[in-house]
Amino acid sequence: MISRQWRGLARPDMEAAYEEHLQTETFPAIRKIDGFVDATIPKRPVASGVEFLIVTRWKTMDAIAQFAGDDAEVAVVPTNVQGMMVEYDARVRHYQVVEESAGPLPSAVLFVRDVRSLSRFYQDVASMRAIHDDEDHVVLEIPGFQLVIHALRAGPSSRRASEGKVVAREDSHWKLCLPVESIARARVRAAELGGLIKAPEHEWTARGFRACDGHDPEGNVLQLRESAGEGA
């Protein structure tokens, strides 16, 4: 495991804009790279602005090179981000992670009729990343959680109304809750893939996040959550 660390000092009025850039552009892009593990954003106020330490973890240097290029120690700082900074590191630091104390990630197994379709749905709608792909199951991951999409051997099938629409399994004993960058954008993509996220009037806010229920293309109920106030 490799820890990649970069420091940037944001202008006081650019703190929120930089965090939005990370959450809506940088992190969704690197989650799609095979070999990316997770990311954290420590920050602290200082006299001239807000200091950020961006820490990402990767399985190999080859994975980092897919993001950073051949010279992996050159910092990736887009032009618009440069304008947000008072100063920033031109080069990053890489550290070998000697030991990890964390155990297996929390996970859930979802049994479905169409593994490929449902895998694509959750990858596109919830920005999950496939870390294992087998004939009868796919393992998807976001930092701190894994979802196994597994083929049904026997059991329940999705119910469809007479007009062919999927009927949500409202009486299910579980509900999958996933974080997204934007419920509004996920709502559009879910509809394109055969699922449904309820209209904005069904959203609510609690404990610092905004949430909305819906279902995937086979009728499995799910809930999407975004940071409160960061939708659309």
Domain ranges of the chain: 2-96, 107-227
Q: What pLDDT digit, counting tens, does each position of 161-185 carry?
A: 555 676 666 555 577 888 888 899 9
Decide if pLDDT at 98 tops 90: no
**Whole-structure pTM over 0.75, yes or no?**
no
Q: What pLDDT digit, counting tens, does each position of 68-80 carry?
A: 998 999 999 999 9
Strands lying side by side in the sheet with 137-142: 107-112, 145-151, 137-142, 129-133
Decide if pLDDT at 104 tops 80: no
Determine the pLDDT at residue 231.
41
Report the alpha-carbon distance of residue 188 to residue 174 in Å, rounded: 24
Decide if pLDDT at 208 tops 80: no
Q: What pLDDT digit, counting tens, does each position of 212-222 carry?
A: 999 999 888 88
Given this chain, do its domains 2-96 and 107-227 carry the same CATH topology? no
Determine the pLDDT at residue 204.
87
CATH number of 107-227: 3.10.180.10
- At 22 the three-state DSSP class reads helix
pLDDT band at 229 (very low <50, low <70, confident <90, very high): low
Architecture of the domain delimited by 2-96: 2-Layer Sandwich (3.30)
Q: Give 160's contacts (C-beta < 8 A, 6+ positions apart).
A: 166, 167
- At 216 the three-state DSSP class reads coil
Report the alpha-carbon distance of residue 151 to residue 119 in Å, rounded: 11
Determine the pLDDT at residue 190.
94
Report the alpha-carbon distance of residue 84 to residue 29 in Å, rounded: 20
pLDDT band at 113 (very low <50, low <70, confident <90, very high): confident
**Is-contact 86 10, C-beta < 8 A?**
yes
For residue 81, give the nearest of 25, 3, 42, 33 by alpha carbon. Answer: 25
Q: Give 228's contacts (C-beta < 8 A, 6+ positions apart).
A: 205, 208, 209, 210
In this prediction, residues 56-67 reach a mean pLDDT of 92
Determine the pLDDT at residue 230.
43
Q: Can you spell out the DSSP letters for 34-89?
A: TTEEEEE--EEEETTEEEEEEEEEES-HHHHHHHH-SSTTB----HHHHTTEEEE-
Determine the pLDDT at residue 232.
38
